Structure 1
Amino acid sequence: MNDDYEDLQDTYPGAGTFRFGTSRVACRRLNEMVRRGTKTANVALLSDFGGDLDALPRAGRADIAVDWDGAPALVIRTTAVETVRFCDVTEEMALAEGEAASLEEWRRLRRESLGGEALDAAAELVFERFELIEDLSER
């Protein structure tokens, strides 16, 4: 696997690695959604970045999504990043995440995953749009 990472770093210099989801099942499901093109965005609390601006996604940067066991699965490129309040997320933005059929459902799911009912409507989110660059299962 180290050779895979070295090759990927040569192909995509500066790419970081990350994992979609908080469980094996969610990770597999989300990776498949990216492969199918139904997931083209991701959201996180701005506070999760702890003020580290270098950790924020940047438009134009490629990153490697790994599977639950840490093997490279996908390469995505960030196309746009914006900071938006939870209450200002539009239905179009919510649907781009690919996990909900409506804005109302997205808000319910995000409240569960980002902080429960205590999640303030004015909580700042980092909203990242991305495109699939390479499906590494095809290598």
Structure 2
Amino acid sequence: MGDSNDWRSLERFAFGDNPEMADRLLGFVLAGAKTATCWSTAEGQQTELGKRMVVTDGAGRPRAVVETASLQQVRFCDVAWDFAAAEGEGDASLEAWRAGHRAYFTRNGGFAPDMLLWCERFRLVEVIGEGETP
């Protein structure tokens, strides 16, 4: 069995909290701009070093395989610009990243400046199907 079929048994997820955001963030991954993500520790540890997962688009179609390269807990207020920039969402500054993520966390269960985040860096392993044109 070759690598091309290995992804079918992997856990799947979409970035963001709506189909439009899932498509937009997937586009950044496929373009090589997005190599990091974060989520509230209240959501649990969703990955581990070396874990591969399938990224789906806004319609739930598998489009890419990513592999966790690093994972650490960081307070929201302590996230550094190098990590925020690696999220690759087009933020021009740490302040812009914080504003967007504050809004996201507020929509999804609550925000606090000292909330703990899982901060993950990942690498794109494979593009699946029509992932080239999200």
- Report what 1:65 is aligned to: 55
Determine if contact 1:21/1:27 at 8 Å carries over to the other structure.
Answer: yes
Alpha-carbon distance in 1 for matches of 2:94, 2:54: 28
Task: List runs of 5+ in structure 1 lacking aligned partners.
Answer: 1-6, 50-54
Q: Choose which of 21, 38, 47 in structure 2 pairs with 1:43.
A: 38
Q: Which residue of 1 aligns with 2:102?
A: 111
2:81, 2:123 → 1: CA distance?
A: 19
Aligned residue pairs, count:
127
3-state SS of 1:115 partner: helix
Q: Which amino acid aligns with 2:55?
A: A
- Structure 2: state its 5+ residue gaps: none
Give the superposition deviation at 1:8.
7.7
Q: Please, which of 92, 97, 104 is the counterpart of residue 87 of structure 2? A: 97
Most deviating of 14-23 and 89-98: 14-23
CA contact (8 A) 2:34 2:88 kept: yes
Instruction: Look up the equivalent residue of 1:62 and give its one-letter code.
Output: R
Does the 8 A contact of 1:40 with 1:130 survive in 2?
Answer: yes
Task: Decide which structure has greater helix share.
Answer: 1
Please name the residue that 1:85 is paired with. 75
TM-score (norm 1): 0.82
Asked if structure 2 preserves the Cα contact closer than 8 Å seen for 1:9 and 1:15, the reply is no
Q: Is the 8 A contact 1:78 1:128 kept in 2?
A: yes
SS at match of 2:103: helix
- 1:132 match: 124
Q: 5 Å matches for 1:6-45?
A: 11-12=6-7, 15-45=10-40
Could you tell me the percent identity over the aligned residues? 32
Q: Tell me how far apart the structure 2 counterparts of residues 38 and 73 of structure 1 sit (CA, whole Å).
A: 16
Q: Is the 8 A contact 2:73 2:119 kept in 1?
A: yes
Provide the rounded CA distance (Å) in 2 between the counterparts of 1:123 and 1:28.
27
